Structure 1
Amino acid sequence: MKIVIKNLDEISTAAREFLKIMGENRVLAFYGSMGAGKTTFIKALCEELGVTETVGSPTFAIINEYRGGNGLPIYHFDFYRINKLEEVYDFGYEDYFYSGNLCLIEWPELVESLLPENTVRVSIQETEDGSRMIDEM
C-alpha cells in the first residue's frame, strides 16, 4: 500500500482509500516525525467513519474516545508524553487494544512492546515537495 496526499484537498479521498485497504483491522499504529501529519490524517479517517465530534490530538489526555457513524467507539491514542510503561498499564490499555473497536495510535514507538500482534503499522512521511506518503511498514 502506498497512498500519496499531495495537498489537503486530497485527504478525504486518501482516508477513504486507506479505510478500504485496512478492512477489518482494528489496531492501527501511525509512525512519523513531528509534523508529518499523523493527527491530520487520523482526523480525516474519523470524519470518513462518521465521527461528528471534534477530533484532536489527545496529547495531554493520552486517549480520546469518539463515536463513529455506526455508534461504535473509536479510540485515538497519543503516547508522545508517556514516560514509563506503567502509565499505560494504569489506564488499562488492554481494555482498548483488545476491545475489537478501532484504535488509532500516534507515537506507538513508546509502547511497541504492548501492541497486539496483529497491529497494522503505518508510516506517514513528508516528502521533499511537501506531500505526504502513507505506507504500511
Structure 2
Amino acid sequence: MEINYNLEQLDEVAQQIIKNLKTKTLLFHGDMGAGKTTLIKALIKALGSHDEVSSPTFSIVNEYELKDDKIYHFDLYRIKEAEEAYNFGIEDYLDSGYWNLIEWPDVIKDLLPNEFDTLSIDIKEDNNRLLILK
C-alpha cells in the first residue's frame, strides 16, 4: 500500500495504516527527519492511547497504555549491535503480544519475529511524504 500525504492528513493516514496491518510489530524506515516519530504519535493516538507521546531516543523504549493492551515504542538509532538490545530485554518486548513500534530496526533484524509490517517514509516535494506499507 502506498499513501501520499501531508502532515495535516496524519490522523487519516494513521487510521488507514491500522486497517491494513497484518501484525502488531511495525518497523519504521526513513531518513532522519522523515517523520517516523510524528507518524508513530498519530498511530498511538489512533489506537486509543491518551498518554503523552515522546521520542524514546535516549530511553530507547517508551511504554504507552491502551484499555486492554500496551504499546512499546523503540528508537534503536543509538544501538550499535544486537547485544545491546539483549541487554535491555528486547526479546521480552517482542514476545509480549503487545504492540511494538520500532524505529531504526536494522540492528535487531535477526531478533525480529517471523511476521511484521514495514513502513517506509520518504520526504517528497512541498514537504509531502510517501509512505509504503508492506
CA distance in 2, matches of 1:26, 1:99: 10
Question: Residue 48 of structure 2 aligns with which residue?
Answer: 50
Letter aligned with residue 31 of structure 2: S
How much has 1:83 moved relative to structure 2?
2.1
Instruction: Identify the residue that residue 19 of structure 1 maps to in structure 2.
Output: 18
> How far apart are residue 84 of structure 1 and its match?
2.4
- Deviations 1:64-108, CA, capped at 9 Å, x for gaps: 00012x231100000001122211001111111121111000011
Secondary structure of the equivalent of 2:49?
Answer: coil
Indicate the percent of aligned positions where both proteins have the same amino acid: 46
Whether 2:99 is the aligned partner of 1:99: answer no
SS across alignment from 1:4:
strand
User: What is the number of residues matched between the two proteins?
Assistant: 134
Match of 1:76 in 2: 73
* TM-score normalised by the chain length of structure 1: 0.92
Give the 4+ runs in structure 1 shifted more than 3 A.
Answer: none
Note the residue ranges of structure 2 that are not aligned, 5 or more in a row: none
Distance apart, 1:128 and its partner CA: 2.2
**Bigger Cα displacement from structure 2, 12-21 vs 88-97:** 88-97
Asked if structure 1 preserves the Cα contact closer than 8 Å seen for 2:81 and 2:108, the reply is no
Calculate the aligned-residue CA RMSD, in Å.
1.2
Unaligned runs of 5+ in 1: none
Q: Which residue of the partner structure matches residue 33 of structure 2?
A: 35
Q: Quick check: 80-89 or 55-64, which moved more?
A: 80-89
3-state SS, counterpart of residue 119 of structure 2: strand
Counterpart selection for 1:64 from 55, 58, 62: 62
TM-score (norm 2): 0.94
- Cα offsets for 1:1-28 (capped at 9, x unmatched): 111212x221000000110011x51110
